[in-house]
Structure 1
Amino acid sequence: MLHSLFAGHESFSPWWPYLDGTRFSYAFMDARGFGDAIDVEGSYTCDEIASDVLLLADSLGWREFSLIGHSLGGMPVQQVVLKAPERVRKLVGLSPAPANGLGIPDAAYPVLAEAARKVENRRIIIDSSTGGKLSPHWVASWAEQSMKAVGPDAFRGYLDSVNTTDFSAEITGAPLPALVVVGENDPATNADAMNQTWMRH
């Protein structure tokens, strides 16, 4: 399970009581610069996350596995397929970043880039990506938690990586089951966008 740009592995904690531990084993990985790995230095790229996924799987003795990636995490789960296609059973993307990058417009990029150090920018982005449907208290709380969960250098590095990386030509046609789940109020990562990118790839 790979998290988004705005939170580490604990963002999945609401799921934990409902996961079937009798049928499956789960690994919730923090990328370098997040959560329990907040002090682990690296290049802060999606490709590095993919390599770390394989190292983690090796350390757990998992020859094969399925991958779930949320937002930022949606890109490295696909890169794992490129690195070790024989090991990946299935993919699930939760409002995932596509293989051709986010392609954020130049006019919008400064707001995202400055969110590396400004909690008010994180509030703006969180509020926008949830369609402005959630309470200001919830948005503010999530933004505050996000500031604690990811360091500024890691935030900016991963943002640049997920925006400029494009390996869509290499992964298109990968023969494995894939599912995308989107938020109905997300104006950018919606079903149309995912059908044109992630699912097509």
Structure 2
Amino acid sequence: MTGHVARHVVPYEVQGSGPEGVLALHHWLGDRSSFGQLRRHLNGGAFSYAFMDCRGYGEAMDTPGTYTMEEVAADALAVADDRGWDTFSVIGHSMGGKAAQLMLLDAPSRVRSIVGISPVPASGFPLDGEMWELFVGAVEDSGNRRTIFDVTTGSRHDDGWLDARVSGSERSSPAALRSYLESWTRGSDIHDRIEGNATPVLVVAGANDPAMGPDTMRSTWLQWYPNAELEVFDDAGHFAPDESPEALARVIERFLGRY
């Protein structure tokens, strides 16, 4: 493969040996292991999935960086280069959805399709007042993280479920969390640059997500991408990979199989 500039490759792992490459970008409070439940239900014969750690998370905890959505997008393209994928699809969960859209701008001929799971819109998602303080506090405070997991799933899960999510969030560095938070909430608004983009897009939203729920998706993603479709999970909130992993895997692979 030619024409791609070599750069640092962040840690990642591949599942499956199928001919179609798929990159998976995790959410703000979890490393690549946050896809663990979903991975149990994926078809490794049809697809090859690359699950990467963003800088400051998991095996990339100590990897220095600017910790921005732009950097995540560039690192994801480097993983695709490392795999030898000229074209691929991207799954982006929450903040990973913003990075996936930046990849469309960086490499428009390479991104086959995008799956956004409760994804941050191209405009970002500004948080104000008490909500901003809750998220800023979550950089250092596990209690704030627990509240975020609880509120964004409609307060439907028990202590064990919340404890497990908080434990997973500890595989992240405070410096990275703080910078990424600024980037996905108040960073560049690129919606005018992607509006009308014909790339096939699947948006998955949990009915119990008060932030990135179906209404938010309809007023952003579905307005800007003419080939976008919305799948609503009635029994999930913001964390469908944990809340409805088997159903999510089916929906994702049915969509990816069309492109």
TM-score normalized with structure 1 length = 0.96
Over 4 Å off, 4+ runs: none
Give the secondary-structure state (helix, strand or coil) at the position aligned to 1:73. helix
C-alpha contact 2:154 2:209 (8 A) present in aligned 1: yes
Give the secondary-structure state (helix, strand or coil) at the position aligned to 1:85. coil
Counterparts of residues 1-201 of structure 1 (less than 5 Å) = 1-147=24-170, 149-165=171-187, 166-201=189-224
Give the secondary-structure state (helix, strand or coil) at the position aligned to 2:139. coil
Q: 1:18: Cα distance to partner?
A: 2.1
Give the secondary-structure state (helix, strand or coil) at the position aligned to 2:119. coil
Distance 1:77 1:106 in 2: 28
TM-score normalized with structure 2 length = 0.75
Aligned length, in residue pairs: 200
Distance 1:58 1:140 in 2: 37
Greater helix proportion: 1
Give the secondary-structure state (helix, strand or coil) at the position aligned to 1:104. coil
Query: What residue identity is the alignment partner of 1:159?
Result: L
Larger displacement relative to structure 2 (82-91 or 18-27): 18-27
Distance 1:156 1:39 in 2: 15
- Stretches of structure 1 lacking an aligned partner (at least 5 in a row): none
C-alpha contact 1:65 1:88 (8 A) present in aligned 2: yes
C-alpha contact 1:179 1:199 (8 A) present in aligned 2: no
Distance 1:197 1:135 in 2: 32
Structure 2 CA distance for partners of 1:20 and 1:141, relative to 1, 3 Å:
closer
- Stretches of structure 2 lacking an aligned partner (at least 5 in a row): 1-23, 225-259
Distance 2:41 2:149 in 1: 25
Q: 1:111: Cα distance to partner?
A: 1.1
Deviations 1:23-76 (A, max 9, x none): 111100110001111111100000000000111111110000000000010100
Q: 1:192: Cα distance to partner?
A: 1.0
Distance 1:38 1:32 in 2: 6
Give the secondary-structure state (helix, strand or coil) at the position aligned to 1:181. strand
Deviations 1:93-147 (A, max 9, x none): 0000111011112332111001000000001111000000001221122112212
Distance 2:154 2:203 in 1: 19
Larger displacement relative to structure 2 (122-131 or 138-147): 138-147
Distance 2:160 2:88 in 1: 38
Cα RMSD for the two superposed structures? 1.0
